[in-house]
Amino acid sequence: MQTTTVRQPLPPPPRAFRWIVLVLISLAMFGNYYIYDCISPLADVLALQLKFSDSDIGILQAIYSFPNIIMVLVGGFIIDRLGTKKSTLIFAVLCLLGAVITASSATLPMIVAGKFVSTTFMPASFGVVDPTLIMMAAGRLVFGLGAESLIVAVTTAIAKWFKGKELSFAFGINLTIARLGSFAALNSPTWAKHYYENWQMPLLISVAAGVVCVAGAVIYWVLEDSAAKKYDMGVANETDKVVWKDLLNLGTSYWYIVALCITFYSGIFPFQTFAVKFFMDAHGTTREFGGFLSSILTLFAMIATPLFGLMVDKIGKRSLFMMFGSVLLIPVYLIMAYTHVSLYVPMAMMGIAFSLIPAIMWPSVAYIVDQSKLGTAYGLMTMIQNIGLMGFNLVIGWANDTSGAGAANPGGYTLGMLIFSVLGFVGLLFAFLLRRSEMGPHAHGLETIRA
């Protein structure tokens, strides 16, 4: 006679365990964000020591976004197949590798025009391409290959652990920890002032941030493995076959969120690329104070994003709050370009918008898209976002150079500020269309779902 052993169902992960996972996986995001933002406070040093133009600096940020036009969508598929723990580690290693290449760009050998050339001994007469710029751009490209996909992987992991619970609040805490990396990078001219005597030293600090990024991914792998043995982690998604036409059937509300995403971030991150240099040239600040002003966005976001996430978890009205955030963003660039109002005012307004919209926008996708396609949906959204980031970093660099922007001609920055303001109006339009869609018969509950 055979006896059948009935396996007792596993309990769900305890709340404390979920929050520990959230904090530790966010370390990967901390390192990621530091590496991304290490260029902005270094811009004037690159211009002084390496003779980089604003277009060159724009290239260093734009090329980060270039591989993500395809990679984050591929990364979404990878996440849906390999799972979040493996994907997170793969992408974190790429972030570290990119930081290493960028920091080593003065000494690494490279191949130019079919010849093996050391960048250290490149003759001054070689004027076709700056080899240091090429190598730094290559490092930023490798970093970009991993960075945005890492964000998608972490976002997908958080949605898995917190959907139906404190999702927006969890996203807020994640962004707070991630943006601590940005805050540290933008304020590095203050706490690492002596490193700015040479352009390469601040980049070496970003390599250390890359090590933190990989460490966070490794720790998350260990924690998820441990949880799988003790707790009910749900049923694995079946994503053996990707149906490409499904990408076009994600719903009107999803595409409005994507459109808001591209316009919103195109107004924020390309501005930060040149913000420190703009503050120094147009408003006469020091590098240290310019870095702090730029980091106000991050400081607001670190504090307010979790609070805004908690708020919308409790009261809903998600698209309405995204409209409010879009309205706040419109006048800030005009204030900085045309008035002498304290820079704290427009940066605080931008900081509130930068806290409010992301706290709502990213978790809203989890309410609209089926769980099995969530990695792909986030990947597609990030892919389109990166088209905007790449394009507008190049556009603003071109606008600054065309207008002769600099300390001798502060008015040259006005064209770029006007471009950013137009993006604010377009973002408000898409936020309005999202609210109208979510107030109709095909709503997904963005206005009504509460934790």
What is the C-alpha to C-alpha distance for residues 186 and 351, in angstroms, rounded to an integer?
A: 14
Q: Which of 395, 390, 387 has the alpha carbon at shortest distance from 140? A: 390
What is the C-alpha to C-alpha distance for residues 394 and 55, in angstroms, rounded to an integer?
A: 7
Tell me 13's DSSP state.
Answer: P
Q: Which of 171, 206, 210 has the alpha carbon at shortest distance from 186? A: 206
Does residue 117 sit in helix, strand or coil? strand
Confidence at residue 120, expressed as pLDDT on a 0 to 100 scale: 39
**pLDDT by 10s per residue, the chain, length 451:** 455 554 567 776 777 888 888 888 899 999 999 998 888 888 888 888 888 888 888 888 888 888 877 776 677 677 777 878 888 999 999 999 999 998 886 554 443 434 434 443 333 333 445 788 888 888 999 998 888 788 878 887 887 777 666 777 787 788 888 989 988 998 888 888 888 888 888 899 999 999 999 999 999 888 888 776 777 655 444 333 444 566 667 778 888 888 988 999 999 988 988 898 899 999 999 988 988 998 888 888 778 877 887 888 788 777 788 888 888 888 999 999 998 899 999 999 999 888 888 878 878 887 887 766 776 777 778 778 888 888 898 899 899 999 988 888 999 999 999 999 999 899 999 988 988 887 766 665 676 666 6
Confidence at residue 73, expressed as pLDDT on a 0 to 100 scale: 64
Q: Encoding tokens for residue 113? A: 């025009």
Confidence at residue 112, expressed as pLDDT on a 0 to 100 scale: 40
What is the C-alpha to C-alpha distance for residues 384 and 404, in angstroms, rounded to an integer?
A: 30
Residues with Cβ within 8 Å of 358's Cβ and at least 6 positions away in sequence, in order, are: 171, 175, 301, 305
Tell me 406's DSSP state.
Answer: B
Cβ–Cβ under 8 Å, residues 120 and 107: yes
Compute the C-alpha angle 118/120/126, nearest 5°: 75
Architecture of the domain whose range is 15-233+249-438: Up-down Bundle (1.20)
Sorted by where each begins, the domain ranges of the chain are 15-233+249-438
Residue tagged 């509130």 (tokens): 352
Tell me 340's DSSP state.
Answer: -
Q: Which of 192, 389, 391 has the alpha carbon at shortest distance from 288? A: 192
Q: In the chain, what are the helix, strand and coil shares in percent, each to the nearest 5? A: 75, 0, 20
> Crossing angle of helices 131-162/84-103, nearest 10°?
160
Confidence at residue 279, expressed as pLDDT on a 0 to 100 scale: 93
